Amino acid sequence: EVQLVESGGGLVQPGGSLRLSCAASGFTFSDYYMDWVRQAPGKGLEWLGRVRNKANAYTTEYATSVKGRISISRDDSHNLLFLQMNSLKIDDAAVYYCTRPNNNYYMDIWGKGTTVTVSS
């Protein structure tokens, strides 16, 4: 079964950092680009960024709103995706989803999400 499972969410203080992980299974993780998307409570979807595969030098793209504060990386040997976010603000509170873009670059596989709360 193709599956993405996020972990690492929880309570973070304003100004703090978070590192989320996503464990992939059921497909050849190393072949695919991978994305992070978030959704603040009661709000819409916000794409955060993408890491390409090894064939594309693991290059990254980021949303304008978070560029400079986030880093997306991957460990193909363990089928893991990571999101590092720094200088967290109240507005960063959201459910964070790990997603897999298909060969047409649309997100066809999603994890269930992990919740990040930002509060002092």
Binding residues for another protein, rule: CB under 8 A, are 35, 37, 44-47, 49-50, 61-64, 97, 101-102, 104-108, 110-113
CB of 112 to another protein, least distance (A): 6
- Cβ–Cβ < 8 Å for 85, 69: yes
Residues near 37 by beta carbon (within 8 Å), at least 6 away in sequence: 45, 46, 47, 48, 96, 97, 99, 107, 110
CB of 13 to another protein, least distance (A): 26
* Closer residue to another protein, CB minimum distance, 103 or 120: 103
* Closer residue to another protein, CB minimum distance, 23 or 63: 63
* Closer residue to another protein, CB minimum distance, 16 or 21: 21
CA–CA separation, 71 and 81 (whole Å): 11
